Structure 1
Amino acid sequence: MEAYSSLIMIIPMIAVFYFMIILPQKKRDKKTREMLNALNVGENIITIGGVVGKIINIKDDELTIETSIKRTEIVIMRWAVKEVLKSADI
């Protein structure tokens, strides 16, 4: 009987852990994957390092972005994109 009481305590704890930690993380990961797969030339982005630029070329998992007034080109990996900026944010 004691084994069942321990099991009855553990199952709700696992369910709470799943719904509060694992499920929200899966949703965030899915949203990020969708955003990265939808990147297009001409979009303004911000990288995880804080660099802001405009995508000028996409080749597989590499993006070439143009930054600043001097038109400096930087090649970054697709996974390094933090977010796509809306035109109102620029």
Structure 2
Amino acid sequence: MSEGHIARHRNYGLLMKRHHRDLRMRRLTIALIYLLIIIAIAVLFIVVRKEEQHRKMQQQTPPATASVSSSAGHLTTANTFEVRFISASDC
């Protein structure tokens, strides 16, 4: 056995401890990445589902009849939703 070969195995226990610590860190990093991916997919699923429900609710409600008041210059609906049209002269 050469001196280099003996020196390489002198700290074998320390090397194995470092190796196992590195393996644990690698596994933890991979687990966290997978967890973040799963969370991102779940959030995306929830957002898409809420948007679909919102669109479905808009399709199910009948369109409100609009009445235009020429003196006020705004549009009101039966749902008390108000949209004001502002012209450049009003600013």
Question: Do the two structures share a fold, i.e. TM-score over 0.5?
Answer: no
Larger RCO: 1 or 2 (CA < 8 Å, sep 6+) = 1
More strand by share: 1
**TM-score w.r.t. length of structure 1:** 0.39
More helix by share: 2
**Looking at CA atoms only, which structure, 1 or 2, has the larger radius of gyration?**
2
